[in-house]
Amino acid sequence: MKRKIFMAVNDVNINKGGINSVMFSRTHLFDNDKYSTALVTLDDKTNYPEIEKQLKYEGRIAETSEVINIFEYYRNKFTRGEVNEEIRAQYERNLQREEEGYHYQLDGKVARYFDNGRYVKYKRWDDEGRLRVVDYFSEIRVRIEREIYHIDGYLLQKETYHPSNNKVTQIHYYTKEGFCYLSRWFNHNTGKPQRIVLFSPDRQEAKVFPSNLEFHASFLEELCDLEEVKPIIICDGPGTSPKVQHIPAEKAIRIYTIHTNHLLEPYTIGSEVKPDIKHVLNNKDEDAPIVVLTNRQKIDIETQFSDRKWNIHVISNVAESELQVTKKHLNRVVTISRYNSEKRLDLLIQAFKKTVEVVPDAELHIYGDGPQKDALKKLIADLKLRKSVKLLPYTNDVFTKLSEGLFTVITSIYEGQSLVILEAMTQKVPAISFKVNYLVRELTDGTTGKVVPNGDIDALAEAMTDWLYTPEKALEVGEHAYQVVNEKYTRERQYQEWDELFEQEIAKQN
């Protein structure tokens, strides 16, 4: 009988890389006769069925895997029927844009409704014309309630708001036949959950949880109880670790991962540990296995906290892809990154300004999205680099985009290993990076790319200029990077390391 591997994280989505990409890859890694997998999420996005369908369509998660969301799980568990006529009729009434008895203002996919001059209601539809949101307003034009609808035409959630600051005070969750299976209470000043109440149609007594910690842990424990063979939980989100730690040891084999640098600024040994990762490192179960991506990080943790017994394992990320048949542009640098301050793309753009002065036809293509997009656009304009530097949308076609460039650049303040470096190596694309913790070992030692002093814009510009001016150097390093990734960073090796860890932990249970 297969052993289930649950991978727990706050959320997954289609246009997310990083940890999500690693988890998606694992669903294929463990798709065999020995294991089965499920991605377990704890947020309340309403479109998880569509997310799962799209991820499978794109081949990013295995067909045999599944996404189990806590809210979808309880909605399905407590559903006893179908959408009835009363619910359908109520949805159809709200679906109408021109609603009798109201003056209205239609504005594309939204509409506003007025009752004798008073603004009372707001509606929003999606691109397919399905009703998604209805807001209701008080006499003083303060939103008091929001209804969120499922694409199949029934009420999913109802939110109520505090009149003083328009912050959520309660969220009610419904099954398709209109049964409220869950209620969440919030402090309207802090936004923090105050109570979670779970209702069953089969009993009158409600189940009350004081916080998300107990609610999420109870859900995870319930999933474990459904398995005939003791399951494995890989905790992929550091914020999820307290919930996983809350599960009794006899219910599951619990494994914790660290996907990033665990330290605060300056991100080197001796620095304070990041608050969310403290939950992982301060686990009362000292024998709990922790998986990190590099041996350097393992050594740093064991050295800085030498008074504790550790069970740390190094299991690298992998990246496997056929060589993409694309035109390689020898004047193009390709970077794939989220647009946030930790990635320091402003330093990359400033350095590229210096490079363009020497190599005028050089191009920098940056694929991604994030909060710094407007600031980066302004910087590009201020430096008069609009012809040379392109900010392009986030892409799931990572390997193709990387293959089109001569090399890639990493300017992050810190890394866990940098998956994009491995992805680039599969396409014979070397990397240039600031010297930070933690990077692919072969990049650090200079065999698959270049490392320049951390934050040194001039050194970065010089390194980029060198390769763009003499691209044969980059091509040679790219060939070596390709050999390294295919010898050392393979699925077979990764599977063996995970399987050995699982067997080690299973043996402890016997």
pLDDT higher than 80, residue 510: no
pLDDT (mean) for 312-328: 91
pLDDT higher than 90, residue 81: no
Locus of tokens 């939204």 = 110
Please give the torsion angle defined by the CA atoms of residues 238, 244, 246 and 247, in that order, rounded to the nearest 10 degrees. -170
Phi-psi region at 455: left, alpha or beta (left = phi > 0; alpha = psi -120 to 50): left
Task: Give the tens place of pLDDT for each residue, 55-78.
Answer: 999 999 999 999 999 999 999 999
Average model confidence (pLDDT) across the chain: 95
**pLDDT-derived band at 17, boundaries 50, 70, 90:** confident
Residue 15: the pLDDT is 85
In a 3-state reduction of DSSP, which class is residue 298?
helix
pLDDT higher than 90, residue 284: no
Distance, CA of 121 to CA of 272 (rounded, Å): 49
Distance, CA of 256 to CA of 271 (rounded, Å): 21
Residue 33: the pLDDT is 96
**pLDDT-derived band at 446, boundaries 50, 70, 90:** confident
pLDDT (mean) for 42-52: 94
Distance, CA of 126 to CA of 110 (rounded, Å): 9
pLDDT higher than 80, residue 12: yes
Q: Which domains does the chain carry?
A: 3-76+214-314 (3.40.50.2000), 85-200 (3.90.930), 332-488 (3.40.50.2000)
Model pTM? 0.90
271 DSSP assignment:
S
Report strand pairing: 110-115 vs 408-410: unpaired
**C-beta of residue 244 within 8 angstroms of C-beta of residue 254:** yes
Which of 81-90, 266-275, 361-370, 413-422 has the lowest average pLDDT? 81-90
Spatial neighbors of 270 by CB under 8 A, at least 6 apart, are 304
Of 268, 290, 237, nearest to 415 by C-alpha is 268
Task: Give the tens place of pLDDT for each residue, 29-38.
Answer: 999 999 999 9
Distance, CA of 470 to CA of 358 (rounded, Å): 12
Task: Give the tens place of pLDDT for each residue, 168-187.
Answer: 999 999 999 999 999 999 99
Residue 321: the pLDDT is 87
Task: Give me the sheet containing 3-9, strands edge to edge.
Answer: 67-69, 35-41, 3-9, 232-235, 253-257, 290-292, 312-314
Task: Give the tens place of pLDDT for each residue, 195-223.
Answer: 999 999 999 999 999 999 999 999 999 99
Angle between helix 457-469 and helix 471-488 axes, rounded to 10 deg: 100
pLDDT (mean) for 462-484: 97
pLDDT higher than 90, residue 85: no
pLDDT higher than 80, residue 336: yes
**pLDDT-derived band at 10, boundaries 50, 70, 90:** very high
Residues in the chain, overall count: 510
pLDDT (mean) for 482-506: 96
